[in-house]
Amino acid sequence: MPRPVISLPWTRSYPSLFALIIGIDTYQSGDFPRLKGAVRDAFAYKDYLTNYLGVPEAQIRMLINKAASRDAILEAIRSFKDDARINFGDPIFIFYAGHGSQIEAPPGWETGGRHRIQALVPYDCCSTRGLEVLCIPDRTIGALLEDIADRKGNNITVVFDCCHSASGTRAASSKLGIRSVVLEPSHINTQDLDRDIWDSGYKVLYPSPRFRYRGLRSHILIAACSSSERAGETKGRGKFSRAFIKLLKSIPPDRLRYSRILSSMDLISDQNPQLEGVEQDRFLFGIASNAPLAPVYPLYFDEASGLHFVKIGTAHGITQGSTFDLLPVMNPEAALFGSFVVVRSTSFCSLMTPQNEGDMLSRTNSSPLFVQRSAEGQKCEIRLHITRNDRYQASRNYLNSLLGNGSYDLRNFILVDDPGEAHLEVSINRSNQAIFQLLDKAVTRHGFHYRYPRVDARNDKMIPFFENVANYYSELYRTNHCDQELMDDIQVSCFRLEEKPSTFSETDMVTIGQDLCEYKEIDLVTKDDSCYGFKIINHGSSDLYPALSYFDSRDFDSITTWYKPPSSGPYELEAPLKKFGGSLTVGYGSGGAPPVTFSLQEDQDIAVGFLKLLVFTRPIDFIDPVKQLYTPDLDALLSKHTWGSLVIPIIQRRRPKQTPISPVYFWPNSHCHAMSRRTASMPNHLLVRSK
């Protein structure tokens, strides 16, 4: 049953929006089945832009059927970059409806083990010898989008209503209105196809200002289905575009976040739309970054146990003692009328009871009810050691007062006398400044000792610092103790990346040298021009949804996301890390995440951070609750899915680590074995290399 959408008044027009709309029903080649709805979809988007957003027609370029040749499509996309009418940050919208396909990936291009890349099929795509017109690979489109973003900003929205997995039976595709075709091998020249375009680095993101819009930072992509599915037509329209345009005409862009698009649309059968891009919390066609919405979850009741539950758990950071506010509707701004507390949490399910049964149990019969997380539960313990000096007692008195104040929720910080047990050493000087020294053995064992910038010993300054410390260690140490076996089948590799010479004006980014991840550590020498990439291989029997982050021990406010899966709202998300040997690359290949650079401060010869990998057997993003108001099977929720984590230290050095010498060798003029002088980062014994 279609979901009702609340119609809201428009609050602004978008006269600065520029668009390219492509619709292809009929192809020059008789080998491609005719479509019925691609052109209608194209004009439906134009109608929306002109009549709902007030976009001038002069700013909308239409390529319909014969006009949508390969050269015309590429030229039209290129033209955004040099259009003097477009200012930096102006919204750009690109829509394509027509056939899609898959082709062989070029040699050396990492695709997660699938060896295929997606492509758009232009009107004049042709396989006749001597008259070949090739398809347009996804990385060609990606490279063009990066060029646009570098010049005009990354307020770019791309919508593809096509698919790339053809049935192989053209008659069947034509009958069902499937927007996909099989391209004959003669079409395909993947090694050099559009190399002059994509050699600029499709899906390669350098974290420097020069390359700030590479990869998935350059645009938001909304696809009608996953790469293994078929996008269909019904009643002379694309099923996806019909639902999407209905939503667009119901909610103003400045009230619709990208992250909420798929969960706000009418449900589509037999295909699972996907949404990818870094800036998903922006409002539609907006350039400003927005804080993520606090998630709202449906509250269920299990009659057998007499407990209420939500479909999130330890995978989302929910622990025993976490509290949730009760809402009468799925609205974060709704009036609250009570709260629940978690009594047990598993990977993707949390059982809870009302804090005040008399106030709320009578209301739980109304449907539906929702909850929103209001407070954390159990936290990891963070140990502080106070410096033994003439300010010891004054420092202790202040910290006891601060940490003991229940309104600040710093109960997981404790004071310890032994510095060897502490994460941080702290003292407050006579200028009333707090001095923090890093004592965490996970860092100092590598020879890195760090003193943080001083913090004014006032509550309004100390509280944010401690909150950052708490969040840093809570996320770093968060693990699933019940199922770490999941990680036994995960292999993580780290490689240095370099530009591969070619006959073209630009070069490829490829891996060089051996795997830098040894003995569950990554030890490297930092250079200003060095970039690094990672490869994750899943040898297990379950498809996985990974997330990769970096924790810089020099800054507790610095947790950098290196990879995050796309989102799909209420639809099935295609797993980025396939089972039985599937792989995901970060920093090179088709993974869409940035390469990594490291740097040392001028007064540092070493620094230590941590790579954290999380893997889940189902998508971590919560499926929109309105679509699932039935009560799910609690037993299945408690046992079906799981997650795991892996933490790998990354030691960054200014100079190479000294190579250890055989223990039988004596230092000159010394009676000590050489191994007695080994560096702190050396393991005490050889470890089995991690998978």
Q: Is the model's pLDDT at 459 over the cut of 80? A: yes
Number of H helices, E strands in the chain: 12, 33
Q: How many other CB atoms are there within 10 angstroms of residue 136's CB atom?
A: 23
What tokens does 18 get? 């520029």
Please tell me which residue, 587 or 113, carries the higher pLDDT value.
Answer: 587
Give tens-digit pLDDT for 370-396: 888 988 898 899 999 999 999 999 999
pLDDT band of 684, cuts 50, 70, 90: very low
Identify whether the C-beta of residue 264 lies closer than 8 Å to the C-beta of residue 303: no
pLDDT band of 208, cuts 50, 70, 90: very low
Amino acid identity at 23 = G
DSSP 39: H
Q: Is the model's pLDDT at 114 over the cut of 80? A: no
Q: Which helix (H) or strand (E) holds 468?
A: helix 459-477
| 3 state SS for 574-621 | CCCECCCCEEEEECCCCCCCCCECCCCCCCCCEEEEEEEEEEECCCCC
Mean pLDDT of the chain: 81
Identify whether the C-beta of residue 554 lies closer than 8 Å to the C-beta of residue 610: no
Identify whether the C-beta of residue 231 lies closer than 8 Å to the C-beta of residue 166: no
- C-alpha to C-alpha distance for 13 and 15, rounded to whole angstroms: 6
- C-alpha to C-alpha distance for 308 and 450, rounded to whole angstroms: 46
pLDDT band of 638, cuts 50, 70, 90: confident
pLDDT at 627: 47
pLDDT at 41: 97
Lowest mean pLDDT among 3-12, 405-414, 677-686: 677-686
What tokens does 445 get? 């064992």
- CA 34 to chain CA centroid, Å, is 37
Q: Is the model's pLDDT at 191 over the cut of 60? A: no
pLDDT at 503: 32
- CA 651 to chain CA centroid, Å, is 24
> Coil, helix or strand for 348?
coil
Q: Is the model's pLDDT at 662 over the cut of 60? A: no
pLDDT at 87: 96
pLDDT at 172: 31
Task: Give me the mean pLDDT over the 1-23 stretch.
Answer: 69
β-pairing, 606-616 with 582-586? Answer: unpaired
Q: Is 15 exposed, middle or buried (0-12, 13-18, 19+ CB in 10 A)?
A: exposed
pLDDT band of 358, cuts 50, 70, 90: low
Domain 296-375, CATH: 2.40.10
- C-alpha to C-alpha distance for 33 and 25, rounded to whole angstroms: 9
pTM: 0.76
pLDDT at 551: 97
Give tens-digit pLDDT for 14-52: 899 999 999 999 999 888 899 999 999 999 999 999 999
pLDDT at 244: 96
Identify whether the C-beta of residue 46 lies closer than 8 Å to the C-beta of residue 61: no
Cα distances from 504 to residues 132, 197, 501, 508, 608, in angstroms, run 22, 10, 8, 10, 38
Q: Is the model's pLDDT at 502 over the cut of 70? A: no
Phi-psi region of 238 (alpha: psi -120 to 50; beta: other; left: phi over 0): beta
User: 484-653: which CATH topology?
Assistant: Immunoglobulin-like (2.60.40)
* Listed residue (299, 271, 282) closest to 568, CA to CA: 271
Strands (DSSP E) contained in 124-169 are: 136-137, 156-161
- C-alpha to C-alpha distance for 664 and 218, rounded to whole angstroms: 56
Identify whether the C-beta of residue 599 lies closer than 8 Å to the C-beta of residue 528: yes
What tokens does 464 get? 């944010």
pLDDT at 507: 44
pLDDT band of 11, cuts 50, 70, 90: low
Task: Give me the mean pLDDT over the 439-455 stretch.
Answer: 96
Give tens-digit pLDDT for 118-142: 889 999 998 777 788 888 988 788 8
pLDDT band of 243, cuts 50, 70, 90: very high
pLDDT at 126: 85
Q: Is the model's pLDDT at 174 over the cut of 50? A: no
Q: Which helix (H) or strand (E) holds 43?
A: helix 38-51
- C-alpha to C-alpha distance for 446 and 674, rounded to whole angstroms: 18
Give tens-digit pLDDT for 343-353: 999 999 999 99
> Coil, helix or strand for 376?
coil
Starting at the earlier edge strand, list the strands of the sheet with 508-512. Answer: 508-512, 490-500, 531-538, 582-586
Q: Which helix (H) or strand (E) holds 258?
A: none
As a 3-state breakdown, the chain gives helix, strand, coil percent values, each rounded to 5, of 25, 25, 50
Please tell me which residue, 67 or 500, carries the higher pLDDT value.
Answer: 67
| 3 state SS for 278-312 | CCCCCECCCCCCCCCCCCCEECEEECCCCEEEECC
* Listed residue (265, 260, 214, 257) closest to 239, CA to CA: 265
Q: Which helix (H) or strand (E) holds 491?
A: strand 490-500
Please tell me which residue, 486 or 327, carries the higher pLDDT value.
Answer: 486
Report the length, in residues, of the chain.
691
Q: Which of the listed ranges 230-244, 324-338, 667-681 does the model predict with the highest average pLDDT?
A: 230-244
Q: Is the model's pLDDT at 571 over the cut of 70? A: yes
Strands (DSSP E) contained in 617-680 are: 643-653
Q: Where are the domains of the chain?
A: 18-286, 296-375, 382-477, 484-653
- C-alpha to C-alpha distance for 523 and 680, rounded to whole angstroms: 13
Give the contacts of 483 (CB within 8 A, at least 6 positions apart).
347, 642, 643, 644
Give tens-digit pLDDT for 259-271: 889 988 998 888 9
Amino acid identity at 235 = K
Give tens-digit pLDDT for 466-492: 999 999 999 999 999 876 788 999 999
Give tens-digit pLDDT for 277-314: 888 889 999 877 667 777 888 888 888 888 889 989 99
Task: Give me the mean pLDDT over the 241-252 stretch.
Answer: 95
CATH architecture, domain 18-286: 3-Layer(aba) Sandwich (3.40)
What tokens does 613 get? 């990998």
